[in-house]
Amino acid sequence: MGRAFEYRKATKLKRWGHMAKTFTRLGKQIAIAVKAGGPEPENNPSLRSVIAVCKRENMPKDNIERAIKNAMGKDQSDYKSVTYEGYGPHGVAVFVDTLTDNTTRTVADVRSVFNKFSGNMGTTGSLSFLFDHKCVFTFKKKADMDMDDFILEMIDYGVDEDFDEEYDEDKDETTITIYGEPTSYNEIQKKLEADGFEEVGGEFTYIPNDLKDVTPEQRETINKMVEKLEEFDDVQTVYTNMKPEEGC
């Protein structure tokens, strides 16, 4: 297990906030996938991937079908992915992933929070040296699956050696999470589906490569900033390079 897994394990990230916000986020991702490749999952790999994530997040089937139908509407706004970055309080780096149909509104909302907490927004790419941008796939593990052989094969498709394995007692199944280069997203998804893995859900993430130590008081302030950012519907995920709290 490598740095990516250890960081996820240490932070126990609740990446999308409460359930209602989760469904809003996923609804926008469905809209983007439908507009890019159509409403039929069997003919749209991106939509299949989002639906798999929806199922993992326990999004009801009716919500999924309604989001697909809404995305087909003529008046449905086009969403696009925009990432904002900068430094929050105490020099902590902050990445803010958004899906928005109004960048003027979104940048104003994000900037207002940075200003409120005495932070500074930077230009796109200014913090790229502090984070690794990765695609992430989660899927059901096959019985008697040899992970060493699997990872060795998947390296040829741009997958990292790091992986996360988690057993769900309620479902009596194990899920595997693998990481790869963002440019390899389509290749990885095709390979996993061709190999017969079920409910392959893919997303993108930022993993800090230089964690910053903070005091308990500083951590509290930074967490408040993150919470404020997550209140906006356009905000999908907020990442920081704040070192995880010991014992979490």
pLDDT tens, 145-202?
999 999 999 999 999 998 988 888 888 889 999 999 999 999 999 999 999 998 899 9
pLDDT band at 77 (very low <50, low <70, confident <90, very high): low
CB neighbours of residue 140 within 10 Å: 17
Span 16-28, pLDDT tens digits? 334 457 888 898 8
Confidence of residue 247 (pLDDT cuts 50, 70, 90): low
* Average pLDDT along the chain: 87
Q: Average pLDDT for residues 58-82, to the nearest whole number?
A: 83
Please tell me the number of Cα atoms within 13 Å of 174 on its side-chain side. Answer: 12
Q: How far apart are CA 77 and CA 102, in angstroms?
A: 9
Q: Which domains does the chain have, with CATH numbers?
A: 3-71 (1.10.10.200)
Q: What is the predicted pLDDT for the residue at 25?
A: 86
What does the pLDDT read at residue 11? 44
* pTM for the full predicted model: 0.80
Question: Could you identify the residue written with the tokens 């070192």?
Answer: 243
**DSSP SS3 for 231:** coil
For the stretch 73-82, contacts whose Cβ atoms lie closer than 8 Å and that sit 24 or more positions apart, written own/partner, are: 76/31, 76/35, 77/101, 78/35, 79/28, 79/31, 79/32, 80/32, 81/32, 82/106, 82/107
